[in-house]
Amino acid sequence: MGRIACILVFDFPIAALVRANPELTDAVLALSSSPAPHAELSAVSPSASKLGIRAGMTIAQARAISGALAIAASSDAAERSAISALIDVAESISPVVEAGAPGCVWLDLEGLGRIYASGDEVASELQRRVRRVGMEAAIGIGANRTVAELAARCGGMRVVAAGLERQFLDWLPLDVLPLGKGAGGEDLEITLARWGLKRLGDLARLDPDAIGSRLGRRGVELVRLARDGDSRPLAPRPRAETFAEAVELEYGIETLEPLSFVMRAMLERLAERLELRGMVAGDITLALGLDGHRNFSRRIAVVAPSNDVRAILTLINLSLEHEPPPAAVESIRIETSPRAPRPAQSDMFLPPAPAPERLETTIARLAALCGPGNVGAIIAENSHRPEAYRVETFAPPPPSPVADPPVAKDVAQLVLRAIRPAAEIEVICSRTGPEFVRGANLGARVVSWAGPWRRDAEWWRDPSPAPSRKRAANAKHDPGEGSATPADTAYAATKGAAECRCLSPSGRGRADGAGAGPIPAPAWARADRAHAMSRPQAAESVRCAPDIRAATLPLSRGAQRALPSPCLGEGPVARDYYEFALDDGGVYRVFRDLTTARWFMDGVYD
């Protein structure tokens, strides 16, 4: 014989409202559909009931009894959330759960004997879990749902032992059953009282056929209930796929801080429910009802599912700060899709790593501080532009055992400090090479220099006609092009398609591809060849050649903004790179854009 438990919350509309507004816990509270003085009370809190306030009184009558009476409207959203919470409590104990009237949930205790030693233990555990979700419930356990519910109606915890159901039912008053009306429309409570029946045992001793002929079908059902109770099995319900908490506010909230305060309590209740079910919160869907019957919804991705209320609230707050709702908020609904918790056992022999949920919160906070595009893992782009990079979501790979201890080196790798965007500079040249560099907050003599290394790539993206082989052939025979001897100058190119061409004065390093023969600069780059400062040409360069001066003289900020920077965006790359050691103590990476003949500084070796 199976055992059924019943979770019953008395005055459920009041309990749901108090759950959504914990500050009303001890208040003298009553529910009414209207605040008008003649409106009737539909439910009263235990505190109000102690003072003698009853449901059915008008507000004026109730206020005459207690001036501290608070009147509130029942909240459908709060009741739905409370019902879901009760079901979650039941499902955290047993998989077979059926919801009855609001505030009443049955669960099948079949097979729980190995987990809980007795019915009392189950009942106390259920009561404790209901308290965790913010309500007080009475628990009854019996052989069937009627016995369990009637046991719960007695209040507290009551376990009806197997075989003693009839004995328990016999002494219960008749009004614990919903008597309803008979076949002739008469009130059964009055009829049975006129017959002198006061307890269920009195009703159970009557002949069902005789009762049926007098009171109709309802009478027979009552006799059956009074004898054995409702022995129908529970109808299992599908498991919830989402968890939601909703609140309807009495007034609109316009700022984030009070909204956050309300949402924190909602998230705490949601986290309790999820923890009862052994789940963690996944992505959050926030639906706000706004003033003027408008809606505002937002989906917040939770990369590291967790029940950390603070972390989730931070993510929601940061999202709302980034794009706040356009009007006052009148209702809030937070819905989350549950996820299985992540096993978080770390390896004792591996270095610690940031906890995923804390890392996610930290990244969200950093993004709020410096902008969402400025946080993450910065990866060099696979491009011929040395300044190209992309920012990816930071997700460090799991730590791996360290194979070998690092070997100490004698020489450090020199690192470049990038200047973004590349700063336009003016380079004053003499016959022997660059002499002086001038730019914003910069003015220094060139002490030493190296270069150039030509980067000629991505010309296939240029909408204008690409340099043809014919141009290349012309350039090859151009006496002005690359007058350096082959021993001094080597051109490197990728094999075949020559995707990137880098000019390396000594032929060592700096080349992006294996050498496959000389590939000269394209014709559009050769137009400025006279001013490109490859070393052999330096002797032929003139101080401040006219086109260089024209490009670099307007150094005022406004003028710089007015100048287009085709070399810094998408499109062909035709640059000569240099390293300038200036007398201010720095070694800078400088390039000259061959298409515009303008000089830029894009990094300092540090």
Partner 1 sequence: MAVAIPIAWSGLQTASIFSSAVFAGQPQPVDFSRISRGYELTRKDRRLSSGIASIDALVGGGIARGRITEIVGRPGCGRTSIAASFAASATRLSEVAAWLDSTDAFDPSSIAAAGADPSRILWASFKNAPRLTRETSDGAAPPLRRPSPLLRAAELVLEAGGFGLVVIDFGDAPYLLPQSAALRLARAAERCGAAVIAIAPRRMCGTFAAMSLVLRRTDARFSRGRASAPALFDGLRITATLARNKLGGCGANATLEASVDPLQSVDFRRAADASAQAR
Question: Per the structure block, which two tokens stand in for 46?
Answer: 């235990």
Site for partner 1 in 467-506 (CB under 8 A): 484, 487-489, 505-506
**What residues have CB less than 8 Å from 271, skipping those under 6 apart?**
281, 307, 308, 309, 312
Interface with partner 1, residue 394, by CB under 8 A: yes
d(CA 33, CA 37) in angstroms, rounded, equals 11
Interface with partner 1, residue 46, by CB under 8 A: no
**Least CB distance to partner 1 at residue 492 (A):** 15
Question: Per the structure block, which two tokens stand in for 236?
Answer: 């299992």
Question: Per the structure block, which two tokens stand in for 384?
Answer: 């011929």
**What residues have CB less than 8 Å from 117, skipping those under 6 apart?**
none
**Least CB distance to partner 1 at residue 583 (A):** 11
Cβ closer to partner 1: 80 or 510? 510
Site for partner 1 in 100-119 (CB under 8 A): none
Interface with partner 1, residue 414, by CB under 8 A: yes
d(CA 588, CA 603) in angstroms, rounded, equals 6
| Contact region with partner 1 (CB under 8 A), list: 6-14, 406-414, 456-464, 516-524 | 406-414
Are 416 and 604 spatial neighbours (Cβ–Cβ below 8 Å)?
yes
**Least CB distance to partner 1 at residue 599 (A):** 17
Sheet with 29-32, edge to edge strand ranges: 41-44, 29-32, 70-72
Secondary structure letter of residue 262 according to DSSP: H
**Least CB distance to partner 1 at residue 270 (A):** 23
Residue from 380, 466, 516, 559 binding partner 1 (CB under 8 A): 380
**Least CB distance to partner 1 at residue 409 (A):** 6
The count of residues interacting with partner 1 (CB under 8 A) is 75
Site for partner 1 in 288-327 (CB under 8 A): none
Site for partner 1 in 448-467 (CB under 8 A): 448-451
Residue from 508, 514, 558, 561 binding partner 1 (CB under 8 A): 508
Residue from 163, 343, 406, 463 binding partner 1 (CB under 8 A): 406
Helix H or strand E encompassing 294: strand 294-300
Residue from 46, 212, 324, 376 binding partner 1 (CB under 8 A): 376
Cβ closer to partner 1: 449 or 459? 449
Site for partner 1 in 328-357 (CB under 8 A): 350-355
Site for partner 1 in 533-562 (CB under 8 A): 534-536
| Contact region with partner 1 (CB under 8 A), list: 253-261, 369-377, 542-550, 559-567 | 369-377
Looking at the DSSP bridge assignments, the partners of residue 492 are 502
* Residue whose entry in the numeric block shows the structure tokens 């009806």: 160
Which x/- pattern, by CB under 8 A, does the window 563-582 give for partner 1? ----------------x-x-
Residue from 190, 210, 369, 542 binding partner 1 (CB under 8 A): 369
Burial 265-278 (b: 16+ CB within 10 A, else e): bbbbbbbbbbbbbe
Cβ closer to partner 1: 208 or 356? 356
Q: CA triplet 447, 452, 458: central angle to 5 degrees?
A: 145
Question: Per the structure block, which two tokens stand in for 142?
Answer: 């019996």
* Residue whose entry in the numeric block shows the structure tokens 């609140």: 247
Cβ closer to partner 1: 243 or 577? 577
d(CA 190, CA 27) in angstroms, rounded, equals 36
SS3 138: strand
**Least CB distance to partner 1 at residue 277 (A):** 28
